[in-house]
Amino acid sequence: MKTTRFHALHKTLGAKMVSFAGFEMPIQYPAGIIAEHMSVRTNVGVFDVSHMGEVEVRGPQALDFVQKISINDASKLVPNKAQYSAMCYPDGGIIDDMLVYHRGDHYMLVINGACADKDIAWMHEQAKGMDITLTDISDEINLLAVQGPKSIEALQGLTDTNLSEIQYYGFADGKLSGIDMILSRTGYTGELGFELYFRGDESVCEQVWHALFEAGKAYDMQPVGLGARDTLRLEKGYCLYGNDINQDTNPLEAGLGWITKLAKGTFNGSDAIAKVKEQGPSRKLIAFKVVAEKFIARQHYPIHHGGNPVGEVTSGNISPIMNVGIGLGYVPTALAEPGTIIHIAARGKEFDAEVVKLPFV
């Protein structure tokens, strides 16, 4: 298993480590998932997400390439802006979701660590005959996500860059704790926050980590693991690749129509996606709140309606904010209306759940 350059720090802090995306990563620290979740919702928390992949796209046809592989419209990006997007196969199935950064003279694509090998192989295949250079910089980049309502106050004393001037999905090149980095106002928690991309060895990572937590003491900054990362994104209804979206899901049925820009012209999967749009998706990703007490729906639990299986849960957990079970799953479009009662099958029983609008919180 690979490790990030923060690995020794996680161990020192008593983190419970698990295998994730080929890395040994912290799933939780001694405070526990609920406490870590609440720290991000109320104060500020720090995640090591250095397992993510980063690819630079350079050359005269860089924009053409990004437009070809991305379902969003990268031509709308200006320097120092980022965009949420996804890559699709010709049949419209999703390869991965990603961030596209306009770096001025090139683009940086940020992909999921678990998908990096297949994503990059796909990119090289798509790049044949194009005047571009693809560079995998994943192993060079350290990435920390500092998330929560107190994130600007906690970070501002460490940088001369005015963080409050960086708009959502904007970024700036600056120094933080004396280290050059991309200060990106992005994240997958639904809270105000920044993602910090920087190069450097373990000593640099240690310097940044300790500087963050020293500055964050006044705001009760906490380290946060993958467990709370999952509950935080689920409360906002954000898709997780491998759970809610994969090669068998189409962006429109997954609720990603808002990033699917068919008007920009032909791109990978555009014909198949256009056909789904014309006919209407036969199923939709829905959000549900469990009505039954003391029941948590888990991935792959069948969803029933009228005594018949109609779909399955793709993500499920307890909402620490609401203290009820919540989840996502695919059902026929006719059952996707908020207020519809569905049933989650588990342990030989059926547990009632209600389809609701997102976000949960």
- Average pLDDT of the segment spanning 285-294: 95
Is 3.30.1360.120 the CATH number for 7-49+139-234?
Answer: yes
**pLDDT attached to residue 294:** 87
- Average pLDDT of the segment spanning 23-42: 98
* Residue percentage of the chain with pLDDT more than 70: 100
- Average pLDDT of the segment spanning 97-122: 98
**pLDDT tens column, 219-245:** 999 999 999 999 999 999 999 999 999
- Average pLDDT of the segment spanning 330-354: 97
Distance of CA 58 to the CA centre of its chain: 24
**pLDDT attached to residue 293:** 87
Are the beta carbons of 319 and 248 closer than 8 angstroms? no
- CATH number of the domain located at residue range(s) 282-361 in this protein: 2.40.30.110
- The three state secondary structure string of 245-278 is ECCCCCCCCCCCHHHCCHHHCCCCCHHHHHHHHH
Single pTM value for the model: 0.97
- Break the chain into its structural domains and give their ranges: 7-49+139-234, 53-136, 282-361
Evaluate if residue 309 carries a pLDDT over 90.
yes
Are the beta carbons of 68 and 267 closer than 8 angstroms? yes
**pLDDT tens column, 174-217:** 999 999 999 999 999 999 999 999 999 999 999 999 999 999 99
Q: From CA 67, how far away is CA 48, in angstroms rounded?
A: 30
Residue 203, H or E segment = helix 202-216
Q: What is the CATH architecture assignment of 53-136?
A: 2-Layer Sandwich (3.30)
